[in-house]
Amino acid sequence: MTSKFQNKKFIADINVTPFVDVTLVLLIIFMITAPLLVKGIKVDVPETKAVRTLKKGKDKIIISIDKNKNIFIDKYKLKIDKLTDYLKRLVSNKNQMVFLKADKNIPYGFIVKVMGYIKDAGIEKLGIIAEPENKKSK
């Protein structure tokens, strides 16, 4: 009694095509999502001696002002007149910390104006982001 499988040999080669396909898909996913993980806008913040390090967490809101006076919450660009309404919708707890990160070349008057819009939203805790003096001198 002979079987039809007795005359056939096993193929010992490994097909790597599915492995390469999955690897390339994962690589593309990581290439797309990696830049999105960085929060906020690149801003050249002022330096000062007394700086505390921000604790990591998702409960902070960072408002950035770049050198062109563009206002961002994370990477979302806002007009200054829409800032108060947006913050009222975004912040459920009035004791939530909001941090202002402004370029060091922005006029002080504009920063105070933005701070006024933030206070109009009912936010009581507002912090300013700066860098230690010795960090940039290295």
- Domains, the chain, with CATH or none: 47-137 (3.30.420.270)
* pTM of the predicted structure, to 2 decimals: 0.59
Helix H or strand E segment including 124:
none
- Asked whether residue 137 carries a pLDDT value surpassing 50, the answer given is no
pLDDT at residue number 86: 86
What is the mean pLDDT of the segment spanning 130-137? 65
86-116 confidence digits (pLDDT tens): 888 887 776 678 888 888 888 888 988 998 8
- Asked whether residue 77 carries a pLDDT value surpassing 80, the answer given is yes
pLDDT at residue number 12: 72
Query: Encoding tokens for residue 121?
Result: 């939203």
Closest residue by Cα to residue 54 from 4, 8, 99: 99
Q: What is the DSSP string of 26-83?
A: HHHHHHHHTGGGS-S------EES---PPPP-SS-EEEEE-TT--EEETTEEE-GGGH
Closest residue by Cα to residue 62 from 29, 80, 92, 39: 39
Instruction: Band the pLDDT of 3: cuts 50, 70, 90.
Output: low
Which has more pLDDT, 53 or 82?
Answer: 82
17-61 confidence digits (pLDDT tens): 888 999 999 888 888 777 665 555 666 666 666 656 666 656 678
